[in-house]
Amino acid sequence: MIPERYLLYLDILGFTEMAREPQRVLNLYQVMDRLNVHRHDAFQALVFSDTLVVYNRVEPSNAHDRRYYVMYLAEFAQDLLQRLIGRDCYFRAILTKGSFIHHRFENLEAFFGQALIDSHRYEKGLIGCGLFMDVQLLKENEIFPTRRHCDRYHYVFLTQAIQNASNLGTSGFPFHGDLLDAMGTTTLTYAELTFLADVYRKSTSHPEPKVRSKFQATWNFYQLQFASLCDILRGSGFDFNAVADADWASAKASFDKELASDYYRFNAGLLERY
């Protein structure tokens, strides 16, 4: 009997265009190679071309296991989203469950199953970027807020710093920036607001209509979920000071330093091997 797996199926958007610059692709793989999933024994990650697949190694035996798998698989998508902010790289992913087999033969690795087939089939038809959760998993999702996309999938909000900022602004914007400092989330909030600003700009000005529609759908999800915050950002021309009187200059410096780090950049000299 084919075992049931919880499956994260993640597709990098615009990969065909990216592949014209091998350095960009190798930098992306370097980022993916450093993801937290590789340090978690309960999960296995596979990468082929523009697709990342992550699944649980052991079948769940109870409700706790199922909630555990859903939480961590969503967090793995969140981990990649945070690492890609500022790199002009986006993904669309599905979190589902179903039959899946991964087997290492003597000379090759093979993987197949209905969960993989369905994810590949439905992912292309989803409009937006980010993570979409199969509705059959909603009862096992205790961490991330979602919003209905269609009968089969809900959009998942992976940006917990944006959610926190929205909550802090309930009594009005801008709120005190020291609230972010106290939680140690100023830089992460800066990064996620930068992500949201980029989504909005691409939703209004990207030259390709099909690409623009993906970002329009993504922005619409955020506008519906975090209406006051999105209104403040858009009305201020995405001036983060309109959200909070935080030390955004220091947050930007920290964010830019991380973005420029060689930790996520493939050694260009190694390209000569290929």
pLDDT tens track for 218-257: 999 999 999 999 999 999 999 999 999 999 999 999 999 9
Report angle CA 199, 204, 210 to the nearest 5 degrees: 85
Residue-level pLDDT at 143: 95
What residues does CATH 3.30.70.1230 cover in the chain? 4-158
0.85 exceeded by pTM: yes
Dist CA 35 CA 40 (whole Å)? 10
Residue-level pLDDT at 268: 74
Residue-level pLDDT at 125: 92
CB 202 within 8 Å of CB 215:
yes
Burial tier of 37 (Cβ tally within 10 Å: 0-12, 13-18, 19+): buried
Residue-level pLDDT at 7: 97
pLDDT tens profile 136-171: 999 999 999 999 999 999 999 999 999 999 999 999
User: 4-158 belongs to which homologous superfamily?
Assistant: Nucleotide cyclase, GGDEF domain (3.30.70.1230)
Residue-level pLDDT at 267: 85
Is 70 exceeded by the pLDDT of residue 274? no
